[in-house]
Amino acid sequence: MMKIIPLKLLILTVIFSWSSFAQNSSYKIGLLKYNGGGDWYANPTALSNLILYCNQELGTNIDPVYDEVSVSDQSIYNYPLVHLTGHGNIVLTSQEAKNLRNYLIAGGFLHISDNYGLDPFIRKEIKKVFPEIDFVELPYDHPIYHQKFDFKDGLPKIHQHDEKPPVGLGLIFKGRLVCFYDYECDLGDGWEDQEVHNDSDEARTKALQMGANIIAYSFLGKLD
C-alpha cells in the first residue's frame, strides 16, 4: 500500500532540499519517464552534457549522473528540476497528473523540450495537471533569458524542423514560473554530443548557455 505523505510535509521537504543549492551540496536532475508510446529517453547524452557545462560555467555541484524518474513516483520530490522530452505521444493518468501538480506547487520545476512531434500531446496532458492555466509566451525581458547568459531575443534556434521561430512558453501558477517549455527550438538536440546531430559549435554553445540559464533560474529564480 502506497504511503500518503501530507502536502505540507512535502513542501517543507522540497524547500529544505532546494536550499542545498546555496550550500553547494550535490544534488541530481531527473529525466521524466512517461507512458503513451513517446520516446521519453530521446537525446541520451543531452542532460549529462548540460550538467557538465553547468558545473563548469555556473559552479554548480550537480551529480553528473542524472536519474530516470516516473511521473507517478514520490521520489520526484528529490529533484529540484525534472526534464521532459520526446517526439511523440504522452499520456498522464489522473494520479500522475496530481503527483506532477503537487510537485510543481511544492517548489519543483519542469523543463519541457519539444524534440519535434511532442507539442500536440503535451499541451493536452498538461491541462490535466493545471486545468486552470494555459501556456503563455514569455517576454524577452523575462529573467530566465538573463541569468549568467544574456538572450535579448529570447530562445535561440537550435535545430530546424519546419521554418517556425523558436518560442519560450511558461506555466505561471500564483505568480511563480513552474514550467518552461522550449517549442520549435530543440535545446536538447544542442546539448547532445556534437556528432549526433552535427550542430555547429555556435549552436551547441547557445543551447548549453540557455540550458544553464534554465538551471540557474529553476533554483534561484524569482516571482514573475
Confidence of residue 90 (pLDDT cuts 50, 70, 90): very high
Domain ranges for the chain, please list them: 7-220
Triad 71, 80, 158: Cα angle to 5°: 85
HSE, CB side, 13 Å, CA atoms: give it for residue 176: 15
Dump pLDDT digits (tens) for 63-72.
Answer: 999 999 999 9
Pairwise pLDDT comparison (219 vs 145), residue with the higher score: 145
Residues 6+ apart with CB under 8 A from 216: 54, 58, 147, 148
Q: Residue 124: left (phi > 0), alpha (psi -120 to 50), or beta?
A: alpha
Do residues 90 and 125 lie in contact, with contact meaning Cβ atoms separated by under 8 Å?
Answer: yes
Q: What is the mean pLDDT of residues 142-148?
A: 96
Q: Please determine, for residue 98, whether its predicted confidence score (pLDDT) is greater than 80.
A: yes
Which of the residue ranges 7-11, 162-166, 215-219 would you say has the lowest mean pLDDT?
7-11
Q: In angstroms, how far is CA 8 from the centroid of its own chain?
A: 24
Residues 6+ apart with CB under 8 A from 67: 28, 29, 30, 31, 79
Q: How far apart are CA 117 and CA 198, in angstroms?
A: 20
Please give the grid coordinates belonging to residue 90. 504522452
Q: Please determine, for residue 21, whether its predicted confidence score (pLDDT) is greater than 90.
A: no
pLDDT of residue 136: 98
Residue 110: strand pairing partners: 82, 179
Query: Is the sign of the CA dihedral 167, 173, 140, 112 positive or negative?
Result: negative
Do residues 172 and 218 lie in contact, with contact meaning Cβ atoms separated by under 8 Å?
Answer: no
- 7-220 has CATH 1.10.230.10 classification: no
Please give the grid coordinates belonging to residue 68. 530516470
Please give the grid coordinates belonging to residue 224. 514573475
Dump pLDDT digits (tens) for 25-51.
Answer: 578 999 999 999 888 998 889 999 999
pLDDT of residue 25: 56
Q: What is the mean pLDDT of residues 71-97?
A: 95
Residue 4's identity, in one-letter code, is I
Q: pTM score > 0.85 for this model?
A: yes
